[in-house]
């Protein structure tokens, strides 16, 4: 939406295509906040923000991209505020900022615990204001590349049915993440990596796919995230014996160590049999009724709704869950891919500002800054070049209609849900927080087998009216392709860096592995290749907190 | 090297305590089809929500069942539907209490919106009303500062409840006014309208209030409070409408029939502690026009909805009403100005 607004303002003809109504997008679930060095709380600067982000990325982030984001972030925040975003304030009326993990200063701008919700709504408001056409509930099934250029998208009308060709000289993918390939995930049902797989099929490589961040405190029942704020307010993590096990791996920071460290410590406790019902316990009981009521009401409600536990009386069972995908469509600092006319921004893209590990609050910022930049750059291109002449041939549309029709009438072996569940368990069991060669190899094999099984599905709903059965089958295809890229990259990367923790290669290996992996589509199979990381000022250091 | 490969996989990751849930689901395959009810029984974890149950049905029993979903954590607004006749978010409704009570719930689509298929309604009328209230900040030409607009926490608090709205439509589903007037803007759009009217950065208050005071606007609300009751996010749209009404009064926008209607309501409630419905119609539209409403009144009377106009009609203790009144007053009128001036928010006029 941010990209569309920018392009429309520049005077070009734009439309938004979304499989959900725009305000239903998963960004709305973000609670914590968005990072920009405004310096409203204490002294801060884009340089410090840059350093924190580079270090957080475990030196896999491209430093030029990170510099751009950190420099332009404050302006983007003021603009969101001028658009009408409702943020929390200091007493003097300036934007409030709070501390977040691994940040050198309180830099996170927020709106109580509904930051993402506020942002998604203000962007939608601007879509209405700028009278931007939205294809609501249109599922993009493929990109069209005409003579090496992007010519638009093919999309299935979810509500009324039918495949449509939407021609465009430039397409900006902003389709979000792919957490749903994991069993335990904080992500919404819609986070199925469609955009990544669309780009991959169209010949664009996916970068650093092996890096999936796990959030340490998610509910077992449905993966819903319990905010870091619970630990920030003094919550303890305990194992089945009641011990605060963080004392072993992070005796200083304890529960407030960085996400990957806490996730690994928890995972170890559970895997070694000191868990409780497959979880560890997030204990808030000592904080008292009042503090929980006033400071953590949202978390209490989630625990009550989805775990049936009142944290005032009992600890909340939590475990690590797939949360944020650092990898994505390989693009440059303007969001452009190697296919002319095809761009990407947000979680679907990998610029890369997050490298091997994202800092909390940086991804919302990335969606805004790089969304705006992609919209701006694409519009400039349109104004400079005019119509590129790329078209969607009638036959291409017909082929896609046939493909979808065949799927719609598929009477093959398995229900999409069964394969999806199997995929999610395989990924959670074999490409989770800790990884090792032999297990990853099994995982690759299983994912390949699942891709094969995914070719013969059974669709029960044959109607064209709101056919979510068909949509879920299409989403499954995306997830299977993304999973293949992820595990193939993970087997190859023989080091531990950021979110990729190998128990057989426990150290970071800058000599051999300080490079981005690129997963290409080679006639349906994943082929790996690498490219260097851009380093400007910051040489790699040991990452400790 | 020590073998640590056991670390890769979590023990007990998929073990859940289970329960059996039976649901009756309203099915409708689209135009021309006959709606009917189907019963399903699913085995789900004890923590399962209504949405989890529907998902289980779709994956394992009946792939044709249609419903919307995305976040499964009550923030995206996709999964509004009716359970036992009242709107809920399926993802925020735990099923265990119903199982424990031995109650089989009935699930149907939201009300006041056309049904497309099964539990999926056509939200187009809903969105067009959101668009109709000019849903974006208009600073009235004021030039934006270099940095942020200054908004104190007190000022910001004025719209903090309205900011919670996820546009799910649960309120609209149960709105009494909308049932009789599908063009009524409705609770969600009006709550959204207050989100701008109450925003100290907005410079278009008067024009907004004028529009909102017109036909199908704030005065068409019957004050049934179903919207407040049904909103899953605590937005309290009816309160937002009351605040809009108070702001409109302040702006002198009282000429509209609706506004006069409200005035009678206010006076009546203030004096007697009860709304004297019998006085309402004549005082709103004038005695002559009121005669034309008599058949309607008789109909209401037959349905037992009109109190006997001759019986004394006074609440025993209207202190409660007066207290409520003060509260409402203190929350609503001229909030913006008061918040701006830093003056204590009390409010005296009516
Ligand atoms: C629970 C949670 C909390 C978080 N908290 C924070 C936080 O506090 N701070 C922070 O910085 N980050 C946070 N994150 C991460 C951040 O929210 C996400 O990375 C970010 O919102 C992604 O935004 P996006 O615009 O890229 O994608 P999304 O918001 O997911 O939007 C994707 C859009 O693409 C559309 N789409 C997808 N596929 C298709 C298709 N095939 N056809 C058509 N349309 C399609 C969808 O309909 C949707 O509109 C959090 C994430 C989660 C899960
Ligand atoms: S109080 Fe008014 S807006 Fe709310 S449901 Fe009743 S009639 Fe509709
Ligand atoms: S006011 Fe409440 S019920 Fe109505 S749309 Fe908003 S969140 Fe939903
Ligand atoms: S699925 Fe998002 S509100 Fe229920």
Q: What burial letters (b/e) apply to B222-242, b meaning 16+ CB within 10 Å?
A: eeeebbbebbbbebbbbbbbb
| pLDDT of res. A101 | 77
Residue B317: pLDDT over 80: no
Q: How many CB atoms lie within 10 A of CB A543?
A: 18
List, in order of start, the domains of chain B with CATH numbers: 19-121 (3.10.20.30), 129-250 (1.10.1060.10), 257-341 (no CATH)
Higher pLDDT, A70 or A296: A70
CATH assignment of the domain containing A457: 1.20.58.100
Residues A221 and A311 in one domain: yes
CA distance A67 to A61: 10
Structural domains counted in chain A: 2
Q: Do B146 and A78 touch (CB under 8 A)?
A: yes
What residue of B is the nearest CA neighbor of A19?
Answer: B70
Chain B closest-CA separation from residue A264 CA (Å): 10
Instruction: Decide if A359 is inside a domain.
Output: no
Stretch A124-153: mean pLDDT, rounded?
Answer: 97
Tell me, what's the pLDDT at A169? 97
Q: Measured between alpha carbons, how far is residue A180 from residues A146, A323, B91 in Å?
A: 31, 9, 17
Q: Are A300 and A398 in a shared domain?
A: no
Q: Is the pLDDT of residue B338 over 80?
A: no
CATH number, position A252: 3.90.700.10
Kindly state whether residue A282 falls inside one of the protein's structural domains: yes
* Domain termination residue (choose one: A274, A303, A320): A320
Instruction: Look at residue A298 in the predicted model and tell me its pLDDT.
Output: 85
Residue A286 is assigned to a structural domain of this protein: yes
Q: Determine, yes or no, domain membership for A108.
A: no
Query: What pTM did the predictor assign?
Result: 0.90
User: Among B286, A296, B67, which residue's Cα sits nearest to residue B59?
Assistant: B67
> Chain B within 8 Å of A89 (Cβ-Cβ)?
yes
Chain A residues with CB under 8 Å of B167 CB are 23
B136, B156, B159 member nearest A128 (Cβ): B136
Cβ contact A95–B127 (<8 Å)? no
C-alpha of residue A330 to centroid of ligand 4, in Å? 31
Can you give the residue range of the structural domain that contains A437?
A: 394-507
Nearest to B71 among A78, A188, A270 (CB): A188
pLDDT at residue number A496: 97
* C-alpha Rg value of chain B to the nearest Å: 25
Q: What is the mean pLDDT of residues A339-347?
A: 98
Within this chain, do residues A407 and A310 fall inside the same structural domain, yes or no?
no
Residue B298 in tokens: 């008789």
Residue A395: Cβ within 10 Å count = 8
ipTM of the complex: 0.95
Q: Counting one residue from A and one from B, how many pairs have CB atoms under 8 Å apart?
A: 228
Question: Is A514 part of a structural domain of the chain?
Answer: no
Per-residue pLDDT of B86-138, as tens digits, reads 999 999 999 999 999 999 999 999 999 999 999 999 999 999 999 999 999 99
Q: Check whether residue A313 and residue A402 sit in a common domain.
A: no
Atom of ligand 3 nearest to the CA of B167: 5
Q: What is the mean pLDDT of residues A99-112?
A: 88
Q: How far is the CA of B278 from the centre of ligand 4 (A)?
A: 43
A376-392 per-position pLDDT tens digit: 999 999 999 999 999 99
Both A405 and A503 in one domain: the answer is yes
Of A335-339, A424-428, B344-348, the range with the lowest mean pLDDT is: B344-348
Question: Measured between beta carbons, which residues in chain B are less than 8 angstroms from residue A112?
Answer: 160
> Could you please report the per-residue DSSP string of B37-83?
EEEEEEEEETT-BHHHHHHHIIIII-TT-----S-SSSSS---EEEE
Please identify, by atom number, the ligand 4 atom nearest to the C-alpha of residue B77: 3
**Whether residue B305 has pLDDT greater than 60:** no
* Residues A341-362, mean pLDDT to the nearest whole number: 96
Asked about A394 being catalytic, the answer comes back as: no
Please tell me the distance between residue B123's alpha carbon and the centre of ligand 2 in angstroms.
Answer: 18
């Amino acid at each position: 939406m941010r990209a569309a607004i920018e392009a429309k303002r520049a005077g070009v003809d734009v439309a938004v295509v979304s499989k959900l109504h725009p305000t239903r997008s998963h960004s709305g679930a973000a609670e914590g906040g968005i990072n920009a060095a405004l310096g409203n709380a204490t002294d801060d600067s884009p340089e410090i923000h840059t350093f924190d982000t580079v270090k957080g990325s475990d030196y896999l982030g491209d430093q030029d991209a990170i510099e751009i984001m950190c420099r332009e972030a404050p302006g983007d925040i003021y603009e969101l505020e001028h658009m009408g975003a409702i943020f929390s304030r200091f007493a003097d009326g300036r934007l409030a900022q709070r501390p977040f993990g691994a940040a050198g200063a309180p830099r996170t701008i927020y709106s109580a615990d509904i930051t993402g919700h506020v942002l998604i709504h203000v962007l939608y408001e601007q879509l209405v204001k700028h009278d931007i056409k939205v294809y609501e509930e249109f599922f993009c099934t493929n990109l069209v590349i005409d003579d090496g250029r992007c010519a638009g998208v093919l999309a299935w009308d979810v509500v009324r049915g039918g495949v449509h060709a939407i021609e465009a000289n430039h397409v900006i993918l902003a389709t979000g993440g792919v957490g749903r390939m994991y069993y335990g995930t904080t992500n919404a049902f819609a986070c199925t990596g469609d955009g990544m797989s669309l780009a991959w099929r169209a010949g664009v490589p996916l970068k650093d796919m092996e890096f999936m961040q796990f959030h340490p405190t998610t509910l077992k029942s449905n993966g819903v995230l319990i905010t870091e704020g619970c630990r920030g307010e003094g919550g303890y993590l305990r194992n089945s014996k009641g011990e605060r096990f963080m004392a072993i791996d992070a005796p200083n920071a304890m529960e407030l160590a960085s996400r990957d460290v806490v996730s690994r410590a928890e995972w170890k406790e559970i895997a070694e049999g000191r868990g409780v019902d497959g979880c560890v316990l997030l204990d808030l009981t000592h904080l008292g009724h009042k503090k929980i009521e006033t400071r953590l009401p949202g978390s209490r409600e989630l625990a009550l709704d989805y775990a049936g536990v009142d944290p005032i009386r009992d600890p909340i069972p939590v475990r690590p869950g797939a949360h944020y995908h650092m990898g994505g469509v390989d693009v440059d600092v303007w969001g452009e891919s190697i296919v002319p006319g095809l761009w990407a921004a947000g979680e679907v893209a990998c610029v890369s500002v997050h490298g091997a590990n994202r800092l909390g609050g940086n991804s919302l910022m990335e969606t805004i800054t790089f969304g705006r930049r992609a919209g701006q750059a694409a519009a400039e291109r349109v104004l400079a070049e005019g119509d590129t002449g790329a078209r969607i041939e009638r036959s291409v549309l017909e082929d896609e209609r046939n493909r979808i029709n065949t799927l719609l009438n598929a009477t093959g072996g398995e229900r999409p849900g069964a394969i999806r569940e199997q995929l999610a368990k395989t990924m959670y069991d074999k490409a989770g927080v800790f990884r090792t060669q032999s297990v990853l190899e099994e995982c690759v094999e299983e994912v390949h087998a699942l891709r094969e099984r995914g070719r013969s599905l059974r669709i029960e709903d044959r109607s064209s009216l709101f056919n979510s059965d068909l949509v879920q089958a299409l989403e499954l295809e995306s997830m299977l392709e993304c999973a293949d890229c992820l595990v193939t990259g993970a087997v190859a990367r023989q080091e531990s860096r950021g979110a990729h923790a190998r128990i057989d290669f426990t150290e970071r290996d800058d000599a051999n592995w300080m490079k981005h992996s690129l997963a290409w589509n080679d006639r349906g199979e994943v082929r790996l290749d690498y490219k260097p990381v851009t380093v400007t000022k910051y040489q790699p250091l040991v990452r400790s907190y | 090297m020590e073998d640590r490969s056991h670390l890769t996989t979590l023990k007990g990751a998929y073990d859940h305590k289970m329960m059996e849930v039976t649901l009756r689901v309203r099915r409708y395959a689209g135009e021309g089809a006959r709606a009917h009810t189907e019963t399903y029984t699913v085995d789900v974890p004890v923590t399962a929500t209504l949405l989890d149950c529907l998902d289980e049905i779709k994956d394992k029993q009946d792939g044709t069942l249609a419903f919307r979903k995305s976040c499964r954590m009550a923030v995206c607004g996709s999964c509004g539907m009716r359970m036992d006749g009242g709107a809920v978010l399926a993802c925020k409704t735990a099923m265990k209490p119903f199982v424990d009570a031995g109650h089989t719930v009935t699930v149907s689509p939201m009300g006041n919106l056309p049904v497309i298929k099964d539990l999926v309604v056509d939200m187009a009328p809903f969105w067009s009303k959101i668009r109709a209230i000019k849903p974006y900040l208009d600073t009235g030409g004021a030039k934006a500062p270099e940095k942020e607009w200054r908004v104190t926490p007190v000022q910001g608090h004025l719209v903090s409840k309205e900011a919670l709205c996820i546009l799910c439509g649960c309120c609209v589903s149960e709105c009494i006014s909308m049932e009789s007037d599908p063009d009524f803007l409705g609770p969600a759009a009006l709550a959204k309208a207050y989100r701008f009217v109450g925003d100290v950065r907005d410079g278009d208050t008067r024009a907004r209030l004028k529009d909102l005071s017109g036909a199908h606007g704030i005065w068409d609300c019957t004050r049934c409070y179903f919207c407040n009751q049904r909103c899953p996010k605590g937005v309290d749209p009816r309160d937002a409408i009351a605040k809009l009404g108070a702001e409109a009064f302040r702006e002198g926008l009282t000429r509209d029939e609706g506004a006069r209607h409200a005035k009678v309501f206010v006076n009546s409630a203030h004096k007697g502690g009860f709304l004297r419905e019998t006085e309402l119609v004549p005082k709103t539209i004038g005695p002559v026009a009121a005669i034309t409403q008599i058949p309607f009144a008789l109909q209401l009377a037959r349905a037992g909805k009109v109190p006997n106009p001759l019986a004394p009609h006074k609440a025993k203790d209207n202190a409660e009403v007066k207290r409520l009144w003060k509260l409402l007053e203190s929350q609503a009128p001229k909030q913006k100005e008061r918040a701006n001036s830093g003056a204590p928010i009390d409010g005296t006029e009516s």
